[in-house]
Amino acid sequence: MQLPPRSTLDVHINHPSLDGFSLLHLSDLHINTKTSVESMQALVNQCKNVACECIIITGDIIDTKVKFITQQLHILNQLPNVYYISGNHDIFYGLDALKKALHTFTFLDNALEKIRFKNQDIYLVGLADRFSKFFHVQRDIQKVIQLTKHKEPLIFLAHQPKDYKIALQTKASLFLCGHTHGGQIWPFHYLVRLVQPYLSGLHYKSNMAIYVNSGLGTWGIHYRYKAQSEITLLQLKPSF
């Protein structure tokens, strides 16, 4: 895993309580047996040097069974204040084992948590990935909608961009996702856009900010072209 320099982006949010809130967004690490312990420690060191309220990982942390990468995952537990959700690869390779390995992280599939910020509550909610139904893992949209009633400001996490429609139902101020790898290798960008509404970066829809993280790892071929990997600090600001 080659680490990119950390980038910083201002995101304009519709809720004044989120003004000044910052989060470090990671996605799609795809840790496998070829991921070195040294690269994982470098990632942790880089992230720990960033001042933020929390770290968010929007799925696909692993790309092999947990038993083959226990040392790499153990290093990740050094990160503070991490909230994460499942991706399709996490589910395929063993979500229960992953949850046990990441014992310092807060798992947010179909769950709601709150962070105290400037004497106010900021809510985080996560939704299990769309592939859950193929692996007998619960994806409870109605539960998530019920949990988020009268909860604001709200940040919604899901693995795939297409779940933005569910985030809109919860009146979330910010929707965070990954999955696309930014297309990973051009011109596959165009194929991804056939199945996902957003490829990468910052978007706005019906007063909700959407950020699609292009991820850190790769899938299939260990190569990227015109789809830069990223570690992104999102700084929330008042709406225009």
pLDDT for the residue 12: 97
| First-residue to last-residue Cα distance in the chain | 37
**When comparing pLDDT for 210 and 137, which is higher?**
210
Structural domains of the chain, count: 1
DSSP state letters, 65-120: -GGGSHHHHHHHTTSSSEEEE--HHHHHH-HHHHHHH-TTSEE-BTEEEEEEETTE
Q: What Rg value do the Cα atoms of the chain yield, rounded? A: 16
- Does residue 1 surpass a pLDDT of 80? no
pLDDT for 154: 98
What pLDDT sits at residue 240? Answer: 59
Bridge-partner residues for 56, per DSSP?
25, 83
Whether residue 231 is predicted with pLDDT greater than 80 in this model: the reply is: yes
pLDDT average, residue stretch 171-190:
87
Q: Tell me if 177 is assigned to some domain.
A: yes
Q: Which residue range(s) make up the domain with 170? A: 7-238
Instruction: Please check whether residue 164 is in contact with residue 94, taking contact to mean a CB–CB distance below 8 angstroms.
Output: no
pLDDT value of position 223: 61
Contact 83, 203 (CB under 8 A): no
pTM, to two decimals: 0.95
Q: Answer whether residue 182 is part of any domain.
A: yes
Per residue in 15-59, pLDDT (tens digit) is 999 999 999 999 999 999 999 999 999 999 999 999 999 999 999
SS3 39: helix
Please write the tens of the pLDDT for every residue from 100-112: 999 999 999 999 9
Residue 200 lies in a domain: yes
Q: What is the pLDDT of residues 195-208, one digit of tens each?
A: 899 999 999 999 99
Cβ burial of 158 (10 Å; 0-12, 13-18, 19+) is: buried
Q: What is the CATH number of the domain that holds 84?
A: 3.60.21.10
Tell whether 109 is covered by a domain. Answer: yes
Asked if the structure places residue 2 within a domain, the reply is: no
Share of the chain above pLDDT 90, in %: 82
